[in-house]
Amino acid sequence: MEEIINVGENIWSAAPILGVVIFLLPLLSFIVVGLINKKHHQLIAIVSTGILLSATVLSVYLLSLVWPGNTFQANINWFSFSNYPDFTAGVLINFEAATMLIVVMLISAIVHLYSIKYMAGDEGFKKYFAFLGLFTFSMAGIVIADNLLIIFMFWELVGLSSYLLIGHWYKKDSATFAANKAFIVNRVGDAGFILGLAILWSQLHTLDLASLTALMAQSNIENGLWMSGNIVVDQIWLTIAGICIFLGAVGKSAQFPLQVWLPDAMEGPTPISALIHAATMVAAGVYLMIRVFALLNIDVLTVIAIIGAITAFMGAIAALTQHDIKKVLAYSTISQLGYMLMGIGVGAYDAAYFHLFTHAFFKACLFLSAGSVIYALHQFEHKNDIHFDAQDMRNMGGLRKHLPITFSAYVIATLALIGIPFFSGFLSKDALLSGAYAWASVMGGDGFSWYYIIPDLGFVTVVLTAIYMTRQILLVFFGEFRLAKHRSIKESVIESPLLIKVSLVILAVLSIGLVWSFNPFDFNTSWFLLAIDTPTIISPGFDARWQSALVTVAADNHIWVSGISIMLVLVGIIAAYFIYKPKGKYAQAYFTRPVAIGFFRKLSYYNWYLDPLYFHFVQRPVTWLADGSAFVERNVIDRAINVFGVINVIFAHAIAWIDKALVDGVVNLVAHLAGTVGKITKSVQGGKVQ
C-alpha cells in the first residue's frame, strides 16, 4: 500500500510545492509569450521552449521525491456552506501524477522544439506558442488536482485550449469545422461528467480524491447498500456516478460512440496532433479513469471494458483504408485508447497506465515523423512549383532514400505500436492482453462465456494494427517516389531540419523496450509496472481474492499470450506485405481506383458511417426540431403575441373613446347643464334682495 503523506492536513512540503511550480510554468510561458512582440519569433521560441524544458527537468526531480510509492497531498480551504465539510483545493501527487507530469511536460517541450522549424514563417507563430503554453497548463491542472471539481474546471480549459489549437488555421473552413466539432462532441461527454460529480457530492458530500478513496477502502456492501462509516448509499448511485464520469472520458478519449471528432481534428498543425491527440488531451480520459479507479464497481468496469474493446476494434478497422497519413494515425490513436480503457475495465489498472505511458512516446514519434514527411513534401512542392496533397500517401513512396532519419524513427515507433519484442509497445500491450484474458477466465470460468469476447477483440485488433501500419510504411517509404516522374521536377525531396530530427530521435529512443524493462519478453519485470499499486475493487461478489487471482492468472499466462500476439503480428505484417508490396497488382490498382469501392472498404474508409448516422439521426432531427421550434415561435407564438398586442391596442382605443366620449361627455354635459340652469336662475333675479 502507498504511504499517504499530509493527506487532510494543511502542510505544504517540497513535493506539493514543486508540483504547483511545475503546473504554473506553462502558464508563465503563455503570459510571457503574450507580452512579446509578435515579430520576435526567435525570442518567442527560445522563451517558451526553455520554460517547458525547465518544467520537464523539475518533473523528473518530482518523481524522485515520490518514488517509491509515496503520495503527497496538500490543500487550502476554498469555501464552505451549510453543514457540509469545507470545500478544499489542492494537489495530490503520487507515482501516476508525477509520471504523467513528465509525459505532459516532455512531449510539450519536444513539440515546442519541433515547432520552431515546422511553424517557421507562420503568421500565427506567436499565437501558436502562447496557446501551446495554455494547453499544457490546463493539462497539468488535470494531472495534479486533488479534487474532481478542480479537475473538471481544467478539463473544460483543456477543451477550450484544444479548440484554439485545432482551429489555428482558422481561415480554412475545414479547420474551423473540426475545432467546432471537437468542442461540441466533447461537451456531450462532459454533460455526463458533471452529472456524475453532482451525484457523488449529493451522496458522499465530498469530491476530494483522497477522501473518496479512503471512503471506498473502509466500505462494505450488504443487500445492495454501500456503507462507509455513517454514510449509507444505495449501490445503484455509485454505479450511475461511475458511468457518468466515464462518459466524460468517452468524449475526451474519443471512444465509441463519440470518436467522430478525433479524425477531423487532424486539420490542426501536425505538432498539435502529436501533443493533443497522441500524448495528452485524449489520454486525459484514461488518466481520469485511473484517478477515480477506486470508485468504480464491477458493473461500471464491465461497461468500460466493453466500450474499450469495441472502440479498439472499430478504430483499427477504420485505419485500414485511409489515404491521409495523419488520419491513419488518428484512427490508430482511437484504437489504442480503446485498449487502455479495456485494460481499466478488466482490472488491469497497471497495464492500462503502462500502455498510456509507452503510447505517448511512440505515437508522438509517429505523428512528428509524419509531420517530417509532410514538411519535406511541402518544401519539395514549393521548390518545384507543383501542387499536390502532401498528406495523401498515394503521392508518396520511396521516401526512405530521401528521409533516412525520419524513416528510422517511423519504423521504430511502428514496431512499438504493433507490438514487436524489444520495443515498448510489446510490453504494455501484452500486459493488457494478459489482463484481459485473466479477467475473462476469472469472471467467466473455464467454460464458454461472453467475457472472452473482450480479449478476443483485443487479439483481432493486434492483427489489424500490424496490417494498417505495415501498409502505411510500404506506401510512404518503399517502392518508387510517385511524383518523381512529374515533368516539372527539378529538385528532390530532402530531409527535415536538425531540430525536427533531434525531436524524432529522442522519441524513438523512448520507444525502445529496454528503457522500460531489461527483459524484453516479460512485462512483469518492468520497473514501471512494479512501481504501480493497483487500488482494490469494491463491488458485491468481487472481493480482494478475485483481484489477486487476476494478477496471478495474468502473470501465469503472459508467455502464451505473448506467443499468440507475436504470431498475429507476423500474420498481419505478411498479409499487408503481399497486398501492398511495391509493384504488386493490388498496390498498382490502389492508385487508380476510386476512393473506396465495395461495402467493407467503404465501411472502413467512412469510419463505420458514424458521421452520416449522426447527421441523419442526431443533427437532422435536432435541426428539424430547431427549425420547427423557430417556425412555431415565428408563426404561432409571435403572431399570437402580435394579435394579442393589436387587440390590446384596439381595446385601449375603445376604452379611450369611451372615456372621452361617454365618461368625459357625461361629466361635461352635467357641467354644461349646471351652467345653463345657473344662467336661467340668475336671469330671473333682480339683484335686489330688499
**Mean pLDDT value across residues 97-115:** 94
Over the stretch 428-441, which tens digit does the pLDDT of each residue have? 998 899 888 888 88
**Mean pLDDT value across residues 59-70:** 88
Going by their DSSP bridges, the two strands 87-93 and 70-79 should be labelled as: antiparallel
Residues 403 and 443 occupy one common structural domain: yes
- On whether residue 498 sits in a domain, the answer given is yes
**Mean pLDDT value across residues 208-228:** 83
pLDDT of amino acid 171? 87
pLDDT of amino acid 687? 63
pLDDT confidence band for 664 (50 / 70 / 90): confident
- On whether residue 417 sits in a domain, the answer given is yes
Of 589, 605, 621, which one is at a domain's C-terminal end? 605
Residues 561 and 470 occupy one common structural domain: yes
pLDDT of amino acid 472? 95
**Mean pLDDT value across residues 395-412:** 93
Of 605, 634, 652, which one is at a domain's C-terminal end? 605
Buried b (16+ CB within 10 A) or exposed e, 301-316: bbbbbbbbbbbbbbbb
Of 574, 605, 636, which one is at a domain's C-terminal end? 605
Residue whose C-alpha is closest to residue 575's, from 456, 413, 463: 463
- On whether residue 625 sits in a domain, the answer given is yes
Are the beta carbons of 296 and 304 closer than 8 angstroms? Answer: yes
Strand order in the sheet with 3-5: 3-5, 70-79, 87-93
Higher pLDDT, 462 or 76: 462
Over the stretch 241-263, which tens digit does the pLDDT of each residue have? 999 999 999 999 999 999 999 99
Percent of the chain with pLDDT over 90: 55
Over the stretch 578-617, which tens digit does the pLDDT of each residue have? 988 887 777 777 777 666 678 888 899 999 999 999 989 8
Higher pLDDT, 5 or 183: 183
pLDDT of amino acid 612? 92
Higher pLDDT, 669 or 291: 291
Residues 514 and 628 occupy one common structural domain: no
Most confident of the following: 168-177, 327-336, 541-550 = 327-336
Would you give the DSSP letter of residue 496? P
Residues 618 and 475 occupy one common structural domain: no
Residues 581 and 649 occupy one common structural domain: no
Residue 375: strand, helix, or coil: helix
pTM over the 0.85 mark: yes
Residues 494 and 362 occupy one common structural domain: yes
- End-to-end C-alpha distance for the chain, whole angstroms: 127
- On whether residue 164 sits in a domain, the answer given is no
Structural domain tally of the chain? 2
Strand order in the sheet with 231-234: 220-222, 225-228, 231-234
pLDDT confidence band for 408 (50 / 70 / 90): very high
Residues 415 and 563 occupy one common structural domain: yes
Look at 155-159, 361-365, 429-433 and tell me which has the smallest mean pLDDT. 429-433
**225: phi > 0 → left, psi -120 to 50 → alpha, else beta; which?**
beta
**Could you identify the residue written with the cell 473552413?**
173
pLDDT of amino acid 8? 39
- On whether residue 134 sits in a domain, the answer given is no
- On whether residue 15 sits in a domain, the answer given is no
| Residue 590 CB neighbours (<10 A) | 17
Domain that holds residue 659: 613-663
- On whether residue 233 sits in a domain, the answer given is no
Are the beta carbons of 435 and 345 closer than 8 angstroms? Answer: no
pLDDT of amino acid 366? 95
Question: Over 70: is that where the pLDDT of 544 sits?
Answer: no
pLDDT of amino acid 310? 96
pLDDT of amino acid 488? 66
Residues 598 and 617 occupy one common structural domain: no
Residues 456 and 385 occupy one common structural domain: yes
Task: List C-alpha distances in Å: 579 to 62, 399, 468, 539, 603.
Answer: 49, 19, 11, 48, 19
pLDDT confidence band for 540 (50 / 70 / 90): low
Over the stretch 31-63, which tens digit does the pLDDT of each residue have? 999 999 988 999 999 999 999 999 999 999 999
Question: Over 50: is that where the pLDDT of 5 sits?
Answer: no
The Cα 585–Cα 141 span in angstroms is: 52
User: Cα angle at 325 between 181 and 338, to 5 degrees?
Assistant: 60
The Cα 242–Cα 258 span in angstroms is: 18
Residues 384 and 414 occupy one common structural domain: yes
Question: Over 80: is that where the pLDDT of 683 sits?
Answer: no
- On whether residue 563 sits in a domain, the answer given is yes
pLDDT of amino acid 4? 45
Q: Which three cell numbers stand for residue 537?
A: 475493487
Residues 486 and 367 occupy one common structural domain: yes
Over the stretch 113-142, which tens digit does the pLDDT of each residue have? 999 999 988 888 999 999 999 999 999 999
Residues 460 and 494 occupy one common structural domain: yes
pLDDT of amino acid 223? 79
Q: What is the mean pLDDT of the chain?
A: 88
